[in-house]
């Protein structure tokens, strides 16, 4: 059995006020720190992935390149690099872009209540995704993904749709 993972609980100013076991934090809907990663290739296509079907929420939905939470005592920059390698099987330089808050309740009783830090990178090359995390992936141009989210929002994660609404994303296209 895996050891429990503890993630930062934050206040509305994104200051760490404690740590909680990841699943329990989501059961209680506590405000916590998270990150989302957007990786583009040289053609400015975004790498998106379909979450593994067995994920604790949003399984089978399409989302940004990678996302996660820093572990207790882990700096955000180290966490984003670690998670990109764990989930997508490659690393690249990642730069902080912006952060935002969102809250979403899921049918299974879990709640995402996150201050989500968004990082952006560029990558070219081969990689092998972690099948425990990723069911499928593809490179898509932003116009295509923005159009598809508009006509089929049910196919995408809540946080990815929130990211795409942000004016900061317009500067990335």
pLDDT in tens, 13-34: 999 999 999 999 999 999 999 9
**DSSP annotation of 17:** E
pLDDT for 114 equals: 96
Integer CA distances (angstroms), 160 to 27, 58, 116, 121, in order: 21, 11, 11, 16
pLDDT in tens, 124-149: 999 999 999 999 999 999 999 999 99
From the list 87, 112, 114, 133, the catalytic residue is 114
pLDDT in tens, 88-127: 999 999 999 999 999 999 888 889 999 999 999 999 999 9
pLDDT for 173 equals: 61
Residue 153 scores a pLDDT above 60? yes
Q: Domain limits of the chain?
A: 6-170
**DSSP annotation of 22:** H
Does residue 122 sit in helix, strand or coil? strand
| Cα 116 to Cα 113: distance, rounded to the nearest angstrom | 9
6-170: CATH topology is Nucleoside Triphosphate Pyrophosphohydrolase (3.90.79)
From the list 66, 67, 87, 92, the catalytic residue is 67
pLDDT for 93 equals: 96
pTM of the model: 0.94
Are 88 and 130 in contact by the 8 Å Cβ rule? The answer is yes
21: annotated active-site residue: no
92: annotated active-site residue: no
């Amino acid at each position: 059995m895996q050891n429990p993972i503890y993630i930062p609980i934050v206040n509305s100013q994104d200051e760490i006020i404690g740590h909680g076991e990841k699943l329990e934090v989501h059961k209680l809907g506590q405000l916590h720190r998270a990150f989302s990663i957007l990786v583009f290739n040289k053609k400015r296509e975004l790498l998106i992935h379909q979450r593994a079907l067995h994920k604790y929420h949003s399984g089978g939905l399409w989302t940004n390149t990678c996302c996660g939470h820093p572990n207790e005592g882990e700096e955000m920059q180290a966490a984003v690099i670690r998670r990109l390698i764990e989930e997508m099987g490659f690393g690249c330089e990642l730069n902080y872009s912006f952060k935002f808050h969102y809250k979403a309740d899921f049918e299974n009783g879990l709640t995402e209540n996150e201050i989500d830090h968004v990082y952006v990178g560029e990558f070219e090359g081969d990689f092998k995704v972690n099948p425990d995390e990723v069911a499928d992936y593809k490179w898509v141009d932003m116009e295509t993904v923005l159009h598809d989210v508009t006509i089929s929002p049910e196919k995408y994660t809540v946080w990815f749709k929130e990211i795409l609404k942000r004016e900061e994303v317009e500067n990335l296209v």
